[in-house]
Amino acid sequence: MKPWHRALVGAFFAVVFATSSILRDAVAPGLVGGALGGVLVYLVLLRVEQHNAAVRRRREREQG
């Protein structure tokens, strides 16, 4: 997954979360929570990708 794909998924989460909170009359918490959630989604996707690459390298090393 390319970095901009992860950023796009994080931005989508941020917008959906913020919109949901704003519709429930929680503007400031919605904006802050959406921004933090978007960053968290980006970082989790990055970590999962790094983990999968490490597992792939370990399997290749063990097999060959």
Q: What is the pLDDT of residue 1?
A: 83
Q: Is the separation of the CB atoms in 45 and 1 below 8 Å?
A: yes
Q: How far apart are CA 44 and CA 2, in angstroms?
A: 14
Q: What is the pLDDT of residue 53?
A: 96
* Nearest by Cα to 40 from 2, 19, 13: 13
Please determine, for residue 64, whether its predicted confidence score (pLDDT) is greater than 80. no
Rounded to 5°, angle at Cα 24 from 18 and 29: 45
Exposed/middle/buried for 9, CB within 10 Å: 0-12, 13-18, 19+? middle
Q: pLDDT tens digit string along 8-53?
A: 999 999 999 999 999 999 999 999 999 999 999 999 999 999 999 9
Q: What is the pLDDT of residue 18?
A: 96
Domain segments of the chain as ranges: 3-63
What's the pTM?
Answer: 0.88
Confidence of residue 4 (pLDDT cuts 50, 70, 90): very high
